[in-house]
Amino acid sequence: MEKRAACDHSIDDLLARRWSPRAFSERAVDAETVCSLLEAARWAPSCFNEQPWSFIVATKENPEAFSKLLGCLREANQIWARQAPVLMVAVAKAAFDHNGKPNRHSGHDVGLAVENLMLQAVSMGLFAHAMAGFDAGRVREAYGVPEGHDPLVAIALGYPGDPGMLPDDLKERETAPRERKPLMRFVFGRFWGNSWEGLRENRP
């Protein structure tokens, strides 16, 4: 299933095709493919090139490891994420390595790495779905995540599946159009709240 962005201005096709499905195919994702996704994450930019990300990965190839990670997700996410062949948790390091001071941008940088991973996934015919709905404390305990590292977001990924496999409420969300605020609402020029002049001149 495709859920291409309905863009007001042209963007790259890869970006337009990315979306967050809940229906995944049973098709396994081989380890080399998972490595490519993580390699894409690795090449994200980061503040001071500190690369404050770590990833915990579990695939269905190892059912025990998979259910350990699945068990860290909130029930509402487990319902659909159990179908995905790969689960991950991205973890952010809170302080800089080079001076030990708080890294205000660590969440930002982990987000960049995750988006790199997601776009690489789309380029390879896969899709990834981020989840805030997981128990960070449980991840910390189950995997021995050290102090100063924060489990930030869980990710389910795999090849796209049939939305018909989802419960009715999720099926509806799966097929609903994707929506975004217009640029006018969040791109400002002279003052906060005053949209940037270029937008007015280039109104769709």
Take residue 125 and report the two structure tokens written for it.
């015919």
DSSP letter for each residue of 104-137: TTHHHHHHHHHHHHHHHHHHTT-EEEEES-B-HH
Query: Cβ of residue 77: shortest distance to ligand FMN, in angstroms?
Result: 5
Query: Cβ of residue 154: shortest distance to ligand FMN, in angstroms?
Result: 7
Query: Cβ of residue 33: shortest distance to ligand FMN, in angstroms?
Result: 21
d(CA 117, CA 60) in angstroms, rounded, equals: 19
Write the burial class of residue 164 (CB in 10 Å: 0-12 exposed, 13-18 middle, 19+ buried): exposed
Contact between 19 and ligand FMN per CB under 6 A: yes
In degrees rounded to 5, what are phi and psi of residue 155?
-140, 135
Contact between 51 and ligand FMN per CB under 6 A: no
Residues numbered 175 to 204 that lie near ligand FMN (CB under 6 A) are 178
Site string for ligand FMN, 149-168 (x = CB under 6 A): ----x---------------
Q: What is the DSSP letter of 163?
A: G
Residues numbered 66 to 105 that lie near ligand FMN (CB under 6 A) are 77
Q: Which of the stretches 9-17, 44-52, 61-69, 130-138 binds ligand FMN when contact is defined by CB under 6 A?
A: 130-138
Interface positions with ligand FMN (CB under 6 A): 19-20, 77, 130-133, 153, 178
